[in-house]
């Protein structure tokens, strides 16, 4: 696995329109772990890609009517089987963090990489997801040396009170120990 021209070699690419240039490409210094499932707490299907591609049909599920208008994206998605989909090249800004702050800096999208885990706050993630996330993280750490293990956070840490992901089901010690 490697990164070339902002793309992870092990990923399936599905470019999201929800991206724009970073203020400073040299300032990629934070990794944010998220979770997502569409519909909530249901896995599989094309819906996450459709959301990030602005083509989620609001008539497919009542919840989709609430979110279909959102313009959001992430750099990567790791699904339950460990497959990786990339929506935004790393040198571009993905729209994953929203209103956020880390160590006194706001607008975390400007300087972060966002990785979505297909999951939900209170549903255990799969062994394969942890293995792939650790492998991807090692590649990201090599390519972006300003990201260190203490600059890997959950969405809940940069948007407290607004976001809860990746949730209590995410095993931070397991993930961080796999990076040593």
User: Model confidence over 24-53: pLDDT tens digits?
Assistant: 999 999 999 999 999 999 999 999 999 999
Q: What is the pLDDT of residues 59-78, one digit of tens each?
A: 999 999 999 999 999 999 99
**Distance between CA atoms of residues 125 and 77, nearest Å:** 13
Domain count, the chain: 1
Q: What is the pLDDT of residues 81-107, one digit of tens each?
A: 999 999 999 999 999 999 999 999 999
Nearest Cα neighbor of 158 from 110, 81, 106, 93 is 106
**What is the domain range of residue 170?**
3-43+73-177
Nearest Cα neighbor of 124 from 84, 166, 82 is 166
Is 66 inside a domain boundary?
no
**Which of the following is catalytic: 25, 103, 116, 118?**
116
Is 62 inside a domain boundary?
no
Q: What is the pLDDT of residues 130-145, one digit of tens each?
A: 999 999 999 999 999 9
Is 53 inside a domain boundary?
no
**Distance between CA atoms of residues 21 and 117, nearest Å:** 24
Is 105 inside a domain boundary?
yes
Task: Give the pairing of strands 92-94 and 101-102.
Answer: unpaired
The CATH number for 128's domain is: 3.40.80.10
Q: Please report which confidence band the pLDDT of residue 180 belongs to, taking 50, 70 and 90 as the band edges.
A: confident
3-state secondary structure (DSSP) of residue 36: strand
Is 59 inside a domain boundary?
no
Is 11 inside a domain boundary?
yes
Is residue 109 a contact partner of residue 94, using CB atoms and an 8 Å limit?
yes
- Let me know if 25 is a catalytic residue: no
Q: Give the residue-averaged pLDDT of 10-29.
A: 96
Radius of gyration of the chain (CA): 15
Is 118 inside a domain boundary?
yes
Q: Give the residue-averaged pLDDT of 138-163.
A: 97
34 - beta bridge partners?
116
User: In terms of C-beta density within 10 A (0-12 exposed, 13-18 middle, 19 or more buried), how is residue 168 classed?
Assistant: exposed
Is 61 inside a domain boundary?
no
């Amino acid at each position: 696995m490697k990164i070339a021209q902002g793309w992870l070699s092990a990923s399936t690419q599905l470019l999201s329109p929800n991206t724009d240039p970073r203020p400073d490409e040299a300032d990629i210094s934070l990794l944010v772990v998220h979770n997502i499932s569409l519909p909530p707490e249901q896995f599989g299907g094309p819906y996450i890609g459709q959301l990030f591609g602005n083509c989620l049909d609001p008539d497919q599920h009542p919840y989709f009517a609430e979110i279909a208008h959102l313009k959001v994206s992430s750099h990567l998605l790791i699904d339950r089987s460990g497959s990786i989909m990339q929506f935004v090249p790393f040198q571009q800004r993905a729209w994953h963090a929203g209103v956020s702050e880390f160590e006194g800096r706001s607008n975390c999208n400007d300087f972060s990489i966002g990785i979505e885990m297909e999951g939900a706050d209170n549903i255990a993630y799969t062994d394969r997801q942890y293995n792939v996330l650790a492998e991807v993280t090692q590649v990201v750490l090599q390519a972006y040396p300003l990201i260190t293990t203490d600059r890997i956070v959950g969405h809940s840490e940069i948007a407290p009170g607004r976001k809860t992901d990746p949730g209590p089901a995410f095993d931070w010690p397991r993930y961080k120990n796999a990076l040593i």
